[in-house]
Amino acid sequence: MLIIGENIHIIAPKVKDAIENRNAKFLQDLAKRQVRNGAHVIDLNIGPQKKQGVAIMEWLVEAIQEAVDVPLSLDTTNAAAIEAGLKRCKKQPWINSTSADPARMETLFPLAAQYNAKIIALTMEKGGIPPTADGRVQIAMETLIPKAMEYGVPMENLYLDPLTLTVNGMQDQIAATLEGVRMFKQLADPPPQTVVGLSNVSNGCPASGRSLINRTFLVMLLGAGLDSAIADPLDKKQNEVIRIVEQRDTSTGLGKLLVALYDATQNMEDLDSSIVDMNDPEQVKVWKTYQVLKNQIIYAHSYLRI
């Protein structure tokens, strides 16, 4: 699967400081580490940046391209900054992201067409996110795909995002994300690509448990047909999970469980508890996390101790 490295994000204090002080080396080193650990694309999230967006994006694109030879994903609500970055990208760029808000579509789809950029399209309208997979599919079918075609964006450049909400307080929405991925692949021929912001699922959860939630959900998403994720490539346990699933490595008990979880999701079945070795702490953690993500037990910060 394709990983879009999420770590150059202005919400991180060190990244924000590096951007403000034009510390290229820090950001270049962070980009290199992400690529070494499997990132295929590097996301550059500079936030809104209404006043300095153009200058920041120009500087950042140039700095990161000096360090790594992978495509860049330009992530800001400032459309002028997006275009400034697109002009400087040496490899096919990404735009992160549009939605079904007419103002966003009418600005960003033409830029995607003009610069042959891949574009992430969030299945949400100006009024918010539909609570069901059907509602998100309707936005994709009736708005996002037709508008992409209208503006000349080829289907292979369109990445639909069903939106990932946090399991902490929005646990019932996990099913809509999974079903959205599954349904998006049936919308057109050729089908659109799919992408999620993986770490959103664990927002608000204790830091010590976020990787477990992320990587368990990722296995389920892959089973549903996910093509790519905006994720942390520096999470070595997550990388190992991807390897196990892609290679169908069942040489360990954990590997057998993860492959079974992938298969169960692909076949739209529940995971059989008999596959879980309850004497293996790692398998038990995955099993309990799976039950939370399936909304079979209520999420609490202490769910692993229950």
Amino acid identity of 1?
A: M
The DSSP code for 24 is H
Least Cα distance to 190 among 143, 148, 223 occurs for: 148
pLDDT at 85: 98
Q: Are 111 and 86 in contact (CB under 8 A)?
A: yes
Q: Are 241 and 280 in contact (CB under 8 A)?
A: no
Low-confidence ranges of the chain (pLDDT < 50): none
Q: Are 275 and 258 in contact (CB under 8 A)?
A: no
β-partners of residue 44 are: 74
Structure token digits, residue 17: 């400081």
pLDDT at 17: 98
**Which burial class, exposed, middle or buried, applies to 88 when counting CB atoms under 10 A from its CB (0-12, 13-18, 19+)?**
middle
Sign of CA dihedral 136, 186, 203, 209: positive
Looking only at the bridges linking them, the beta strands covering 2-5 and 41-45 are parallel
Which are the contacts of 119, defined by CB distance < 8 A and separation ≥ 6?
Answer: 94, 95, 97, 98, 108, 109, 112, 148, 153, 157, 158, 159
β-partners of residue 158 are: 119
Structure token digits, residue 67: 């360090």
pLDDT at 271: 97
Please tell me the distance from the alpha carbon of residue 80 to that of residue 216, in angstroms, as a whole number. Answer: 38
Please tell me the distance from the alpha carbon of residue 81 to that of residue 93, in angstroms, as a whole number. Answer: 13
Q: Which CATH class is domain 2-233?
A: alpha beta
pLDDT at 306: 84
Sorted by where each begins, the domain ranges of the chain are 2-233
Q: Are 95 and 87 in contact (CB under 8 A)?
A: no
Q: Are 8 and 30 in contact (CB under 8 A)?
A: yes
